[in-house]
Structure 1
Amino acid sequence: ISWASKESYRFKKMKMQHLQSAPGSPPAVPVPEAALKISHTSPDIPLEVESKTQENGVHGNSRMQRQITDHSSTCVSSIRRQMNQSNPDFTVTQFQRQDSLTGMSLGQLKPELYKQRSLDVEDNRSSRVGSCGCLHFILKYDCDLEQLIVKIHRAQDLPAKDFSGTSDPYVKIYLLPDRKTKHQTKVHRKTLNPVFDEVFLFPVAYADLPTRKLHFSVYDFDRFSRHDIIGQVVVDNFLDLVDFPSETKLCRDIQYVSSDNVDLGDLMFSLCYLPTAGRLTITMIKARNLKAMDITGASDPYVKVSLMCDGRRLKKRKTSTKRNTLNPVYNEAIVFDVPPENIDQISLLIAVMDYDRVGHNEVIGVCRVGNDAEGLGREHWNEMLTYPRKPIAHWHPLIEVRMHVLSLSKVNSGQIYSGGNIYLIPC
């Protein structure tokens, strides 16, 4: 080998060492010295060397790709892998270390807030079970007239029942066990501290007082739905009260109750059937203790009677309207022509309505008599058939109306579904 060839070989060797020591460059693949071919024109590794390295199982490109991976791309891929984990492991020490660095980490749970929430729920639950305000009233017994005098003064701190944050309260009073004699106050609009100042009298003998209980029910008046009960107060052991039978001032907590059977009232009417003439006579006598439908605490009731056959209304009649009363007296007769061969197929649907000058008339309560009726309604009907040509009178409790929506064509044609306790009363 000449001197020039030696210098060229030394120059190529120094160049390869320089490339190996360059930062970020992959290490050179060791190549046998015999495989190198000296060339003055090309500094590249000959093809024989590349093919021989592939035969030896050395993949330079893959090794170079792994070694020249950028540090920033490695961090990004690591973060992506962490974000794709479904259940990352968090420890308390990590949160404590983060709190020590940043003070309060974003999104950290505060157990004291949940503890306060649970306390609020418990307080609300206990308040519902316990007091719902208080009722101030005065009791006195008049020995000369043998009357228990009850003056309802005011209610205080009532719970809100309306969306406006107020209520429309009134009080209903019974002297139990007699529920037929009932008094109630006027309705006070949009207040949680109503002042009633109303006096009510209950005729009762002094000797019977130990067996009687005074029952106050506080309601929230609702014009379009069932009245909500706020709570109740029960007073017994009258003789143990201080200063009784003289004037005794009392203040009692109103106890929360979950529900109350609202007394819709009772209706008294008689049934009489004349088989020879095919005439059915219903005499509306009177009603008592009707539910108040007006803001004045009264109603304008009338009675509507529908002659039914297989759920379809055949005819209807109604009484006159009695103004501003919860105990109307009618004494009015309603007559339907029913042939004897059809008497077993018909029934009567009787609705007590509240007349309204502005809006629609509302149903206070209903009752039903006939072969397909239940309880007293069937018994009254069978008694009428057993004793023809004789008026048979009974008191019937009114039940709540549950609206059952039918198609518009059926409603317009007067068809009524009256199965069970579901009724649709078209006004």
Structure 2
Amino acid sequence: MTTADQTNPGLSSVPSAVHTQGAPGFIQDVWDKIPLPRWLLITVFAGVAFLLVSCLLCIVCCCCRRRRKKRVKKETVGLSRASNSTSAHLVQPDVDDVELGLADPKRGRVQVSLEYNFRSQELRVGLKEAADLKALQAAGMSDPYAKIYLTSDPQKIHETKVHRQTLSPVFNESCVFQVSQAELPEAILVIQVLDFHRFSPHAPVGELLIPLGTSDLQHVLEQWYELGPPGQAEQEQMGELCFSLRYVPSTGKLTVVVLEARGLRQGLPDSYVKVQLLLNRKRWKKKKTSMKRNTSSPYFNEAFTFLVPFSQIQNVDLLVSVWGHSRVSRGEPLGKLLLGCRASGHQLHHWSDMLAHARRPIAQWHRLQSPEEVDKALQIKKGPRLPLPGS
């Protein structure tokens, strides 16, 4: 033992710097034993890590999509989450929302003059010109002409001359209709602009309806009018129907109260309303009101209750139709309405408002639609009428 060791004996217990360098760990041993270059090992490990991260991201995305689908299903089926503060336009939408975008301003406009002689009870209609008509031909032009008639006398129709290859024809034509003062409040002037085709049906460009009852005929009127979509005059002649809907989810009771109708087609004095339910586009249940005679504005005020389980409310369509009856014609549909999840326009608004305001009756006027149009949209399937549990 040296002198330094004798003076400071504690130093002999401290390990030297050589002893602090321990043997390599387990990972280092495995790394060294692999007979591959290190750059290749790093590439393999990076690829494996990338695949794992990609798999985890895919699993997370799938889970999120499933949750979103479940939420959408709950929102469409669950009435308990429906808001009770539905906006007012669901009950009675504005006039601009009636056609749901079908009124196309690009159909053009026409200049019309009206003059009514109260002594002779004659209405003089002048069609001056049209502008910015919608081109229906491939060349970007049209051969327009116009039809003018009154809904009170649809048999008397005035047709203008055909103007070739133009979108702004100058008609400068007039016609006279015999209209009594008693017929003025209900009469509607119809102007239809069509595109002439020699070897095929004439294509409708647009249509204008002018209610004479709301027009100031004390003076000569002359102004420009925007053309609307074709087919409005037919719907006006079909009339309107008012009824209320009420649904109670807890009991599954759907109550339809047929209140009244107005403006039904003349010549069919007897009428009744048929209420029909369709399940999965198959006929299920139907009921009808009593016959109302000798009136075009019948008042029914009859209620019908159907049992519709809450689980099937999204699969049910409500078909309301007005039928006319006369000695010559029996069982002729004057107009139909389709309500439900597959409906559109006022009918869809009315149905949605009923679901949003459960247990409360919602009443609304509806303009009757063409029976052919509604039947085409229904596409009813033939099959047996199977009763539902609790129905």
User: Shorter chain as normaliser: what TM range?
Assistant: 0.3 to 0.5
The one of the two structures with greater contact order (alpha-carbon pairs below 8 A, sep at least 6) is 2
TM-score (norm 1): 0.39
TM-score (norm 2): 0.43
Which one has the largest radius of gyration?
A: 1
